Amino acid sequence: MLSKSMLKALNEQVNQELYASYLYLSMSAHFESSNLPGFALWMQVQSKEENGHAMKIYKYIHDRSERVTLETIDKPPSSFKKPLDVMKQALEHEKKVTGMITRLYEMAMKEKDYPTQVMLQWFINEQVEEEKTASDIIELLKQVGDAPAGLIMLDRQLGARAGS
């Protein structure tokens, strides 16, 4: 059984993961309209991953014989600038999520909720990967600069990852 405070915090995290899915889908729409289909597909994969994260917590709450309470998902931004700016925004969002997961883990430690700590360990590892991936793409975009050929090559590379 989860404490009331842990249940509330996990339900809030479900909402945040669904927001992240929505955010990446909005970024995908931006890239589609910018004729960058590889970036768009990459963001669609990210959106699906975030939805999967929400469902992982959703299932965990039910496995602990509790009830998920869904709240309104905030509207994500729909206007973005250059690919570098979008990826920087994605990285900042991932850092925010890392902070939320860390606070959940700290709460689970304080409450001696060992099952929740174990479940959250997967998310901690996942966030390291998410931040590294976004950082790597940012570095590639910095190297490409304003060179259209480089951007096209990176778009193809990201699209290949999304299709695998």
Q: What tens digit of pLDDT does each residue of 88-107 get?
A: 999 999 999 999 999 999 99
Lowest average pLDDT, out of 74-78, 84-88, 157-161, goes to 157-161
> What pLDDT does residue 1 have?
87
The per-residue b/e assignment along 3-25, b for 16 or more CB within 10 angstroms, e otherwise, is eeebbebbbebbbbbbbbbbbbb
* 118-164 tens-digit pLDDT: 999 999 999 999 999 999 999 999 999 989 999 999 999 999 975 55
CATH architecture observed for domain 4-163: Up-down Bundle (1.20)
> What pLDDT does residue 162 have?
55
Domain ranges of the chain: 4-163
Contact 110, 160 (CB under 8 A): no
* Mean pLDDT over each residue of the chain, to the nearest integer: 96
What's the pTM value of the predicted model, to 2 decimals? Answer: 0.93
Question: How far apart (Å, rounded) are the C-alpha atoms in residues 12 and 84?
Answer: 29
